[in-house]
Amino acid sequence: MKELSFALGIALVVGLMGCQGAGKQATEENAAAQHPAGEQAATQTPPAGEAQAVTLAGNVGCGHCNFGKTSECSSAIQTADGSVTVIDNVDPTHELWKLREENMKPAEITGTIAQGPDGLQHIQITSFKIL
């Protein structure tokens, strides 16, 4: 009985590791179910040399734990088409970092898009709105 209790305790601790123990919860079906088509803004990469502001609408979560895209925890947004964009310059005191920990909260992020050194799409945030 003690062995079973110990094993269950270990399983619980392992399950809670990472960002709120979220694991890779977000699937394209979850994102689509939480926000039906038409609610998300299109993701567009501006032409080279032009830094145009775009607004991405979708679910904010952890780039590592929810979306499995980044090597470390980071704030990211997943749009209705399933694409994930890393939100740059979000430190642990920023509201979007805390929102990331709440797992899959709807938001709109406005900023300029660029490809990061990790090969992922990044957005330099200028404003955001929690929906």
Q: Rounded to two decimals, what is the model's pTM?
A: 0.64
Q: Provide DSSP, 25-41.
A: ---HHHHHHHS-TTSSP
3-state DSSP assignment of residue 53: strand
Q: What is the pLDDT of residues 54-93, one digit of tens each?
A: 999 999 999 999 999 999 999 999 999 999 999 998 988 8
Nearest to 104 by CA among 69, 74, 66, 64: 66
Q: What is the pLDDT of residues 101-119, one digit of tens each?
A: 777 889 999 999 999 999 9
The whole-angstrom separation of Cα 94 and Cα 108 is: 15
Which domains are present in the chain?
Answer: 22-130 (2.40.50)
